Every structure is written in structure tokens, then in C-alpha cells.
Amino acid sequence: MNRPEVGQHPDETFDIVNTHDQVIGAAFRGEIHRRGLMHRAIHIFWLRSDGMLCLQRRSFAKDNCPGLLSSSCAGHVDSGEEYLTAAVRELGEELGIHISAALLREIDYAPHHPELGNEFVRSYLLRGDFPTILAPFEVDTLLWRTPVEMDRWIVEQGSAFAKPLIHLLGRPAVRRALGLAV
């Protein structure tokens, strides 16, 4: 999809889901967010071979959490798309990392929650060293910390982090995958 340089495309269409994550319709991004409808998203936690975790500072052009630190890669699942397909697509769009789906390991499935923007979220772990080409309208910069350093940083300066990331880091499966105490 051809994305504009404003951080998101207003005509993106996402599936609307019910409390069981079953598709019940579709609508434009703006309508879904404005009405607080349940929909789907993915988050990727990328650990390099040296154990450093990639944190993404979201573009200041984003409509959600602009300029805040988030997971390595996050995005919506487009209408008719599968979670894993969305994860591979978003990784390519945001970070310029083009991989096969086999390199992503699902580590958690979080039900919709206000701190997740009413999104059902599947989280994936990516391990390895990959060159990046950042999409400036999506990503401001990448920062690298150990998971423990990131955990401490959130405690000390939580307002610098996007609420969905903080919520996901409270989930035991995500903490275990990152080697953090549960």
C-alpha cells in the first residue's frame, strides 16, 4: 500500500471485530478510532544477537502516540488480512526489514483493552541482526536497550512510552519472551 507522508492513511480499512475477535464488519481507520470500535493490531519485539531490544520512537506525524517510544514495530491489521501477514508487512513498511513469516514467533495474544486502543493484539518476537531503512513518516528513530534497561526506564519515565507498549510489557508471556521477571 502506498502510504502518505503524514504517518497514516485516512482511507485505510480495518476489520471491526466483536469481543471474540470475530469479524463483524469493516470501516475506515478514522471512524474506528473515533467510535472506539474493536479491531486488530500487531506488535513486534526485536532482539538483536547481542541481546539488545529495539525500541521505536514513533513519528511525530502519527495520530496515535506521536513521538512516544513503542515496541520495535507495531501496526494495524488491514481488512481481510491475517495477523502474521500484517506483522511481516509492517516490518517491511516501517523498518525496511523484509523477512519470511517463519522468522517471527508469536509470543502473546492480548484481548482488546482501552490501553490498547480497543485492539486485539498479537505480539511477535524477532531475533537476529538486520539492516534497517526507516520510513520517516512512521518512525522517528530507533533506540537500543537491554530489556532490563527498558523496564527500568519505564518505571523512571513512563510518560515517554506509549500506553500499548506499557500494557503489553505487563503481560507475563511478553515478559518471559524478553527474559524479564514475571
Which of the 8 DSSP states describes residue 21? S
- Length of the chain, in residues: 182
As a whole number of angstroms, the distance between CA 139 and CA 18 comes to: 30
As a whole number of angstroms, the distance between CA 181 and CA 179 comes to: 7
Give the closest residue to 175 by CA, choosing from 149, 151, 145, 143: 151
Query: At residue 17, what are phi and psi to the nearest 5 degrees?
Result: -125, 160
Question: In which band, very low, low, confident or very high, does the pLDDT at 11 lie, cut at 50, 70 and 90?
Answer: confident
As a whole number of angstroms, the distance between CA 100 and CA 52 comes to: 22
Instruction: Judge whether residue 4 has pLDDT over 80.
Output: no
141-167 residue pLDDT tens? 999 999 999 999 999 999 999 999 999
Give the closest residue to 39 by CA, choosing from 166, 164, 174, 180: 164
Which of the 8 DSSP states describes residue 114? G
C-alpha cell at 24: 463483524
Give the closest residue to 118 by CA, choosing from 28, 18, 26, 23: 18
Give the closest residue to 176 by CA, choosing from 122, 108, 87: 108
Domains of the chain: 13-177 (3.90.79.10)
Percentage of residues in the chain having pLDDT higher than 90:
84
Rounded to two decimals, the pTM is: 0.93
Instruction: Judge whether residue 64 has pLDDT over 90.
Output: no
